[in-house]
Structure 1
Amino acid sequence: MNGKSLFNHLFILTDDTGMMQHSIGSTPNPKYGYTTDDNARAIIASAMMYEMYKEEKFLNLIKRYLSFLMYAQDEDGYFRNFMTYDRKFIDDDFSEDCFGRCMWALGYLLDSPLDDRIKLPASKLIEKSLSIIDDLKYIRGKAYTLIGLYHIYNAENKFKKDFIKGKIVNLTNDIIKWYEKNSNDDWKWFEGTVSYDNGIIPLSLLKSFIVLKDEKILDIALESLEFLDSICFRNGYFKAVGCKGWYERGKNIAEFDEQPVEAYTMALMYIDAYNVTGNEKYRERALACDDWFYGKNSKGVSLYDESSGGCSDAITDYGVNSNEGAESLISIIISHCATSELK
């Protein structure tokens, strides 16, 4: 697949502020402004694109999105999330998901082969936010942050390895406690509901195992992965848990809407599981998650729009959502780049 044409929509959604959140069809809708969530994940997507295609235009995007995060971070190290089209942040509550996604993106940037001058602001943003990590309460915020800490630990930078490793240990123990509290023989999961960004949690434990080499961490990562696998591949192809109801313990699995974020996060999860275990099944599953975008799904329709280079926002009960927003675009880019090494 031609990456240059696949990702044209990336440049349409991005203006001189950052990546806009929503589109009507393939046209950006400025009414809903921007989110730090999207701009953080767009850093990862653009860095992956640069690593694959070595085109300077992706470096320029990284700088744009990184600048957005610089503006979003307050003096205490927290990140504001929702920005209007006239560049005013409007949210008062701290989003742990947003914080964790920022830490993941910044850590990924430090761990990349990019120029140190691009990494410098990422390092400064991380330094200001490290003190917040110990106060995180929610599992996904912890999981995103744990992935970011893995990359910070893995990279050559000014942060002391033992200090970062200690935070990895603490977050890992917290996530394991969620698992031990909520799982049983029939429900190998961290919560009473399988909801959103599910692959992130086993992925974070796989990252932790790579650093800590603790077999208990790997066992829980693979148990929870296999539980997700039994749900999302119950029909022989990838089918995400629907966002209209999720999957609550003892109840039916929601069929729709299937969201692109589930496909790319589970692809990343399977890739790490394959790299750690060598199990060929996980490589095939990662590729199947990527294939979901191009028609190997419950509706047999492609979410990729060849004319715009964008991605539909969801699979619904009637087909595909015709809007092409930021999260879906980021999802297809990261999935494409991450799985390309397996093909």
Structure 2
Amino acid sequence: MPNMPHIALVGGFTPRRCGIATFTADIRTSITAAFPEAVIDIYAMAPPANDLVFDAPVHKVIIEDDSASFIAAALAIETSCADIVWLQHEFGLFGGPAGNKIFELTDRIAAPLIVTLHTVMPDPDPDQMRVMQKLVARATKLIVMTDRAALLLRDIFGANADQIEVIPHGVPDRPFGRTNHFKAKFGFEGRQLLMTFGLLSPGKGIETVISALPDILAAYPDLLYCIVGATHPNLLAREGEAYRERLQGLARSLGVEAHIHWIDAFLETEQLLDLIEAADIYITPYQGANQATSGTLSYALALGKAVISTPYAHALELLADDHGILVPFNDSAALAGEIEALLENPERLLTLQRRGYERSRSMIWPAFAMRCQDVILNSLHPVAAPAFQLTARTAIEGLTRLCDGTGIIQHSILCVPDRAHGYCVDDNARALMLTNRLGAQAEPERSRLAVIFASFVQSSWNYESGEFRNFMGFARNWLEAAGSEDSCGRAIWALGATAHEGLTPSLRHWAQKLFDGTIDSARHFGSPRATAFAMLGADYVLASHPDHDRARAILSDGADFLLARLALTRRSDWPWFESVLAYDNCRMSEAMIRAGLRLERPDVTQHGLETLQWILELQISPSGHFRPVGSDSFGHEYAPPLPFDQQPVEAWAAIDGASAAYDATRDGHWLGHASRAFDWFTGANDRSVAIGEMLTGSCRDGINPRGVNLNEGAESVLSFQLAHCALSGLMAKVATH
């Protein structure tokens, strides 16, 4: 049997007085009992005015509505290298609109997220809808306790069926038939006992039971109704005990106060279970159909009690097929009639008790723990990660699948090219560079494709505007007069690379000519990334033509521009060219290193090495694998990276950056960085899934919170292929020194 992985369990926890706290504690107890080797770190939610002293298992306390507290917990979870984060979700537990503060934590963790949803609303308000949709998008697995909740998740919140797991509320495993023993323990001998338990608040329907008592007592004058539970803390804070006093006033007005036994306390679990065992009939008279789950309803069934309930969602499922009795909402007469009918037929009462007890055997805590283990293990490894080592080359079927006579198509739906989005110069420029680097074993395809990609780049140049266009529709119609600075920079980079390493003299001559005709468009780039792309292209040209003045100017001016950006935005803990993180981050450091080497400016090289070291170390997870800066990170000033969505282009950029650093230093530790980045493709990542496929040369579009993005678009395929070429080249250089 596989071991239980390291779990970060987030929710309420004892001694906090709420159902979520009890449930979270029960999860820990049941998992630990079933899997003694399990490591479970508890992250306990606490109210703003926290005076709770939590039990020993609590690893860290999270204060409701305190962003810093959530962020600190996320950092602790990441540092602990927890394999799974398991969140107990209730809207009112975390703070913010509909509890949206929880995303301060979940957005910062990379481990798979399992969410137990204790409430799934059929009619959510806008805030609840936003929170639920984000949870659905973020969670690997969603656990609910009823089939109806699963249906709501699919139909209202858009969850996938394979994302949802129905695991009924866990229950204790106790012997059947000990009612008289526990009646004696609590002094209820010789009396028929009704019971309701829970934090006292309107909506529980206790008024309905009190109003039914006069009719019941007329037939059974010794009957006692036991109401167990302290007033809900939120209600207590607003109005004190006014609600309990109203209930007591109702009992006095009906003359039944002597037949009600109040236990105004939040009982420890074992004491509560003993008390429930003393009851003959357990009643959950909730007033609304949307009550999601009731732990005490599950407990009562498991303890062999006959259950009478209103038809809220959980009761409809749990008591179906004559495992309990349902009565209409707020109908005291119907409730009284069903109670009397049970009490006057002891055989039927016993049969109902046994039927409920037998149904609950599949819900006992050991069975609950086993079901949870299955969910956790499936969340860890949703896709098997095939192990493979770097080979001499990758296949190119994944590349050719996306290509036609116009160029390489941008996107793919799974493995099928998506013509709806046409082409872009970004991808065709990358593809042109790839054909330069594929070995002779890729002939004749590489030569045929090189001309197609070159033709696309050539046609993207708009002579009228003096800029490159980017997007072309599938019908070969340009969709814009000019592309972004970044796409223009990539085109210049590809031209410079092809001018130096193109497959034929003719192709190299073509690339040099177009480079010369377009390079001035890069002189006034404001984007540091676009500047870096153009600098890399210029460096290639200078490798073949050292006296190319305009290429040298692009390289020199670009280095000065990046140095100025670095001086403007850097802090002691943030040695970077921008106040935010974005995509292709390593390219700026790579361009600085290449410029410093080419221009013999050691200061530029040193800044490139320092910034590259920082950005690469920022992309190492606590467990040691490569974790590319996720696109969720973009735009957050001076903030550490968020883990998702992870994209292949970052791994390729990291390898190219490390290769440039090795050229500058001959230090073998850069090969370690490059190998770590490439291993991300092969399964050494946050989801243990293979992103690239050596057998086809294809690559999936990255990793999102729920696993691998199964689409195989051009950027991803090209990044994988180019990363393989870059690492192979770096390994060859290291081997010769």
TM-score normalised to the size of structure 2?
A: 0.45
2:192 equivalent to 1:192 = no
- Bigger mean CA offset, 245-254 vs 10-19: 245-254
- The equivalences for 1:45-60 within 5 A come to 45-50=434-439, 53=441, 55-60=443-448
Q: Is the 8 A contact 2:398 2:698 kept in 1?
A: yes
Residue equivalent to 1:272? 660
2:513 to 124, 128, 148: 124
2:733 equivalent to 1:334 = no
2:569 equivalent to 1:182 = yes
Percent identity between the two aligned chains: 29
What letter matches 1:108 in structure 2?
A
Alpha-carbon distance change, 29 to 230 in structure 1, aligned in 2, over 3 angstroms: same
Secondary structure in 2 matching 1:22: strand
- Distance in 1 separating the partners of 2:498 and 2:482: 26
- Distance in 2 separating the partners of 1:75 and 1:228: 38
Higher RCO by CA contacts (8 Å cutoff, separation 6 or greater): 1
Alpha-carbon distance change, 3 to 176 in structure 1, aligned in 2, over 3 angstroms: same
1:313 to 701, 717, 736: 701
- The equivalences for 1:166-181 within 5 A come to 166-181=553-568
Residue equivalent to 2:208? none
- Distance in 2 separating the partners of 1:213 and 1:234: 35
What letter matches 2:722 in structure 1?
I
Residue equivalent to 2:625? 237
Deviations 1:25-59 (A, max 9, x none): 00101011000100001011121114x63623201
Q: Is the 8 A contact 2:468 2:482 kept in 1?
A: no
- The equivalences for 1:34-49 within 5 A come to 34-49=423-438
Shift of 1:132: 1.5
Deviations 1:273-318 (A, max 9, x none): 0121011110111111111101111111101246753100011111
Secondary structure in 2 matching 1:28: strand
Secondary structure in 2 matching 1:34: strand
Structure of greater Rg? 2
Residue equivalent to 2:672? 284
2:675 equivalent to 1:304 = no
- Distance in 1 separating the partners of 2:554 and 2:502: 24
Alpha-carbon distance change, 27 to 104 in structure 1, aligned in 2, over 3 angstroms: same
2:489 to 67, 92, 100: 100
TM-score normalised to the size of structure 1?
A: 0.94
- Distance in 2 separating the partners of 1:91 and 1:136: 19
- Bigger mean CA offset, 262-271 vs 41-50: 41-50
Residue equivalent to 2:538? 149
Aligned CA RMSD, in angstroms, stands at 1.8
- Bigger mean CA offset, 10-19 vs 164-173: 164-173
Secondary structure in 2 matching 1:32: strand
Residue equivalent to 1:214? 601
2:491 equivalent to 1:139 = no
Shift of 1:262: 0.2
Residue equivalent to 1:10? 399
Alpha-carbon distance change, 203 to 277 in structure 1, aligned in 2, over 3 angstroms: same
- Distance in 1 separating the partners of 2:498 and 2:525: 22
- Structure 2, unpaired ranges of 5+: 1-389, 732-737
Secondary structure in 2 matching 1:230: helix
- Distance in 2 separating the partners of 1:250 and 1:132: 31
- Bigger mean CA offset, 328-337 vs 206-215: 206-215
Residue equivalent to 1:227? 614
2:457 equivalent to 1:72 = no
- Distance in 1 separating the partners of 2:467 and 2:392: 34
- Distance in 1 separating the partners of 2:535 and 2:646: 26
- Distance in 2 separating the partners of 1:250 and 1:45: 34
What letter matches 2:428 in structure 1?
N
2:502 equivalent to 1:110 = no
Secondary structure in 2 matching 1:248: coil
- The equivalences for 1:18-29 within 5 A come to 18-29=407-418
Q: Which has the higher strand share?
A: 2
- Bigger mean CA offset, 193-202 vs 160-169: 160-169
- Distance in 2 separating the partners of 1:307 and 1:30: 25
Secondary structure in 1 matching 2:563: helix
- Distance in 1 separating the partners of 2:547 and 2:641: 44
Q: Is the 8 A contact 1:26 1:308 kept in 2?
A: no
- Structure 1, unpaired ranges of 5+: none
Shift of 1:250: 4.4
- Bigger mean CA offset, 66-75 vs 244-253: 244-253
What letter matches 1:18 in structure 2?
G
Q: Is the 8 A contact 1:241 1:256 kept in 2?
A: yes
Q: Is the 8 A contact 2:470 2:487 kept in 1?
A: yes
